[in-house]
Structure 1
């Protein structure tokens, strides 16, 4: 769970003391190096302000950090499962390789067994781990102004064509066609629940989606058409703002999002999305309740379609809508992620604030930090 760890100061002191009581229960991610370690790591201790703490290896990997080669935080998982050990070693030896199911089969492993093992240990499959590791490096390098060839090297792709193909599958366009200028700019944000793509203009956030959402490519295509292909890569003020607000959300300090939004949908869909934003964190609604609240009680199915068409995840909280029987129903980011978001939001409680109206506080002392890119 996201809120069962001690606070940052206690965890940093445990890191300094190399306290083995937290071994396997907490990990430190060091923003200055991009490495994550056990708290018992013998390496020189980083500065307090460069440390972020997570409760699982999967969260560290999702947030874009690489395992330390001194304390080997992946070793317990590898020791517990020979298949995991073999594939992690293979990935370390050939990080640039475009891993496939055929590669896993050649090692003599059952695909479904490997998939379950990696999902259980890391919250992602082996193939997802390998692909995200390579593509993230290239995306971030491009956002930082690197040339395409340099980004390809940073991403450890074996050829320019492989890098272009992977990039195009994600954004719908090769990296060379995306400059540092554009009416819309795409950027990469890493969160404890997985990597996200944010697309913003200079004044508004247009898209925020988890990178593996199946509809992402179609949504990006529609945005590109809306701006006649003028999509670039890099950060914009709304992306910086939503990144900071996501930090507050995952740290358990606030579930209020104030980043200006740009909706792309019909008047009906916009009404649904506005109503979704009225659902307090920690609460849920059914599709029929939303339909009644917008004055269209017979439009339950249309509400469900509008909910699924939302392309600004978390901020427009479509994850707070469930079936009339209490079932989670569908979620583009995956039902496991929907459940995690609802679990996170149960930790919030409403408190009165005379200066800014209702805000959301945290019921426990634990803390989580998101790595912004």
Structure 2
């Protein structure tokens, strides 16, 4: 956090009261509908446990949420730029469209004017917003249990290579001024439930995420900022090691993971992640149980936030934490993957028990 903001409890109260005084401090993302709204939205209010508060519209989009059609959070209450309004309305009519600069030129728009207007209001260009909307649609498709290829096509990518190229393009090549300094290397690892991106240096793994995770571009930028390193496509011994361990895992062998993990995160987050790795294969916990396990029973929400901040999927098994009512709750890789991983690990644990009984 770069600055203090109202707590989530205060923001939820503001949402219930439609308190305009908090307008612009945060937006509410509703996990059950995958929609984000203004705090003054007139729609029926969601339950507290289904609300995630983000500090910017960009963060809502990067997390895979789509704007509410009632409160229209991407439009300002007063004085909205007519070009911005027209393009946002066009985007809502065709969220799956692959918008290009040629489309804007065909509409008689000046590219630099459009870019400045969107950067000023959202901190990103119209084309970047359109891409995030497509990726968000893909995430919804996957959450519904659809095959990866279907989500790929829904997001406007005609091939697996194109789908991953959207992330690869973000990485680019190392800036010249970083030559001679440390570099991180990113590469793809194929798995039965979709490709994953691994970012590592010679000594540790910095990121392991599914390629279609909506927040992946933001996580890559955050790693670059935290480490001060450039990121280039390529492999390190750590990449090869985690690929071997993932292959064993998906083949049903409960060998654990030995790949060294870089020390990102706050001390509290690292404590939560360390405890996650103590949950045995085939086991599950609620967020409340996880908070008790680290000796912080009153920090259930903070534990949930730390789970969401985990960027080493599977190895740090945040998928093993579920809601108090037994529901799967959120998972950045998609609920269908969470369900798949838990069932896969249940079978692994059952097979291990059978093998031990036969000895």
* Equivalent in the alignment of 1:124: 150
Tell me the CA shift for residue 131 of structure 1: 4.6
Distance 1:132 1:298, change over 3 A: farther
Distance 1:316 1:257, change over 3 A: same
Tell me the CA shift for residue 201 of structure 1: 1.0
* Equivalent in the alignment of 2:5: none
2: distance between equivalents of 1:180 and 1:234?
16
| Match runs of 1:157-168 below 5 Å | 167=166
Is 1:133 paired with 2:131?
A: no
Contact 2:171 2:231 in 1 (8 A): no
* Equivalent in the alignment of 2:288: 288
* Equivalent in the alignment of 1:315: 315
Question: Secondary structure of the residue that 1:194 maps to in structure 2?
Answer: coil
Contact 1:277 1:316 in 2 (8 A): yes
* Equivalent in the alignment of 1:274: 274
Tell me the CA shift for residue 278 of structure 1: 0.2
Contact 2:186 2:231 in 1 (8 A): yes
Greater displacement, 273-282 / 179-188: 179-188
* Equivalent in the alignment of 1:200: 200
Tell me the CA shift for residue 121 of structure 1: 6.1
* Equivalent in the alignment of 1:243: 243
TM-score by length of 1: 0.52
Tell me the CA shift for residue 341 of structure 1: 0.3
2: distance between equivalents of 1:264 and 1:171?
24
| Match runs of 1:210-221 below 5 Å | 210-221=210-221
* Equivalent in the alignment of 2:170: 172
2: distance between equivalents of 1:340 and 1:332?
14
* Equivalent in the alignment of 2:14: none
Tell me the CA shift for residue 171 of structure 1: 5.7
Contact 1:319 1:331 in 2 (8 A): yes
Unmatched segments (≥5 aa) in structure 2 = 1-94, 99-136
Higher relative contact order (CA 8 A, sep 6+): 1
Distance 1:171 1:310, change over 3 A: farther
Tell me the CA shift for residue 130 of structure 1: 3.7
Contact 1:186 1:235 in 2 (8 A): yes
Contact 1:170 1:217 in 2 (8 A): no
1: distance between equivalents of 2:235 and 2:253?
24
Contact 2:174 2:231 in 1 (8 A): no
Is 1:304 paired with 2:330?
A: no
Question: Secondary structure of the residue that 1:325 maps to in structure 2?
Answer: coil
| Match runs of 1:1-373 below 5 Å | 101=96, 120=146, 124-125=150-151, 126-128=153-155, 130-135=157-162, 167=166, 169=167, 172-175=170-173, 182-349=182-349, 361=352
| CA deviation vs aligned residue, 1:64-93 (integer Å, no higher than 9, x gap) | xxxxxxxxxxxxxxxxxxxxxxxxxxxxxx
Question: Secondary structure of the residue that 2:245 maps to in structure 1?
Answer: helix
1: distance between equivalents of 2:343 and 2:270?
27
Distance 1:302 1:207, change over 3 A: same
Question: Secondary structure of the residue that 1:253 maps to in structure 2?
Answer: coil
TM-score by length of 2: 0.54
* Equivalent in the alignment of 1:93: none
Distance 1:321 1:123, change over 3 A: farther
| CA deviation vs aligned residue, 1:19-57 (integer Å, no higher than 9, x gap) | xxxxxxxxxxxxxxxxxxxxxxxxxxxxxxxxxxxxxxx
1: distance between equivalents of 2:233 and 2:318?
27
Contact 1:180 1:234 in 2 (8 A): no
Let me know the Cα RMSD of the aligned residues. 3.4
2: distance between equivalents of 1:336 and 1:210?
13
Contact 2:209 2:312 in 1 (8 A): yes
Contact 1:252 1:361 in 2 (8 A): no
Residue-pair matches, total: 218
Question: Secondary structure of the residue that 1:247 maps to in structure 2?
Answer: helix
Contact 1:331 1:338 in 2 (8 A): yes
Tell me the CA shift for residue 128 of structure 1: 4.9
Unmatched segments (≥5 aa) in structure 1 = 1-99, 104-110, 140-165, 351-359, 365-373
